[in-house]
Amino acid sequence: MSSKILMPALSPTMTEGTINKWLVKIGDNVKAGDIIAEIETDKATMEVEAVDEGKITHLLKENPNLQVPVNSIIAIIDGKESDFLEDNLITKEIVKDEKESINNEHSKLNEKNETKNDVFIDKSNTKSKASPLVKKIAKDQMIDLNKINGSGPDGRIIKRDIESKSSSETPSEQKINQDFIVPSMMRKVIAKRTTEAKQQIPHFYLTIDSNVDKLIDLRNKINENNSVKISFNDLIVKALGLAMKKNPNTNAYWQDNKIYQLKDIDVSIAVAIDEGLITPVIKAINSKGLNEVSLEIRELAKLAKTNSLAPKQYTGGSITVSNLGMFGISEFAAIISPPQSSILAVGKIIKKPIVLNDSVKIGHTLKSTLSADHRVLDGAVAGKLLKDFNDIIEDPFEIWMNSNDMEVI
């Protein structure tokens, strides 16, 4: 009896996947649990196991441009040709559509190139009215000399005429030097989900400016004696977890016209990788000390950059921290990652004059912007969360008090 291997749902948000590499070939004998393929999902590259014992008789061809829907057949063990052909019609249509899409893109580019090349064929009367230099400039800038009235002697086209024509052209008339790139599975999913997020989630934004002089002092004191070197991002993530503990109604998300309240506080961390962005999750952050949080962030970031995260390591949570301070970004607003209900965008620490007790001094400030889902959070609720976060990082002794895995400072 044949056994069908389907495209698995390797994460709650996965609707389709791409076969990156088969680790078996037709004719190979496998047993349940054997790794047979690498599948690219919306989050990472994952391994797929055989579900039964037998001989591989059919494999869907590797294709980096083919997005296979979840639960479509990708392989058959001990099967017949009819099994694959009859049950895999939907996948065959996907292959057809993908090929047609790519061919259409190539055709459009070829048509543009052919049109552009036609424009620059010298007509008989034009050759004698332009110098070789002018002709070269016209060719390089893709300008039709037949459409230019020369201002030189006997209507001769001179360099100034070319420059005048070039500056007066619209962008669509000017040279287009481009090609299209077939995006990765992750990039396609990011494009789809961010578009849906902006269209379907009623975002609103709150920004707060924090004095982080004491946060800097705390970090310096910790790192003098602590075995784990703590980053500002570690402190921010821990502070956000503490602020959410004070505001449990913010630990929720919207899905299927319902608000789901979470018990554990799980905070996602935005990590940039070559293919795009992934958000591994620090689970139950308030049960962990600062050292543990710091080490876990490092480990998750390392796994993310090597596409080695397991689904449980990047699913869950109601909020994400996105920090662009290391790139010199002072302030920005981020897009919520559904089904989460908020995301905190953190900029760089800036040294500037600040007012304290009616006097001006030089201090360090940090701007943080909370993007919130108005279906779940109202302005006052989100504002209270951001205020509590601000109070914690401005007077961060609470962070140290809630970290029982650190050396005495």
List, by residue number, the catalytic residues: 374
CA 377 vs CA 88, 136, 204, 207: distances in Å: 44, 62, 10, 15
In 256-395 the beta strands, taken as DSSP E runs, fall at 258-261, 267-269, 271-273, 276-278, 281-282, 319-323, 342-356, 359-373
232-246 vs 213-225: helix crossing angle, rounded to 10:
120
Phi/psi for 351 (5° steps) reads: -90, 125
212 and 364 Cβ atoms separated by less than 8 Å: yes
Q: Is the dihedral of CA 326, 327, 330, 332 positive or negative?
A: negative
CA 165 vs CA 126, 170, 338, 390: distances in Å: 16, 10, 49, 57
Nearest to 60 by CA among 33, 28, 92: 92
343 and 336 Cβ atoms separated by less than 8 Å: yes
Burial class (CB in 10 A: 0-12, 13-18, 19+), 340: buried
The CA-based angle 275-296-259, given to 5 degrees, is 75
Q: With the CA atoms of 381, 382, 388 and 390 taken in that order, what torsion angle do they form, in degrees rounded to the nearest 10?
A: -160
Strand arrangement, sheet containing 54-59: 3-6, 73-77, 54-59, 29-30
CA distance 70 to 368: 38
Cα Rg, the chain, nearest whole Å: 29
Burial class (CB in 10 A: 0-12, 13-18, 19+), 361: exposed
CA distance 138 to 163: 9
Q: H/E element holding 211?
A: strand 203-211
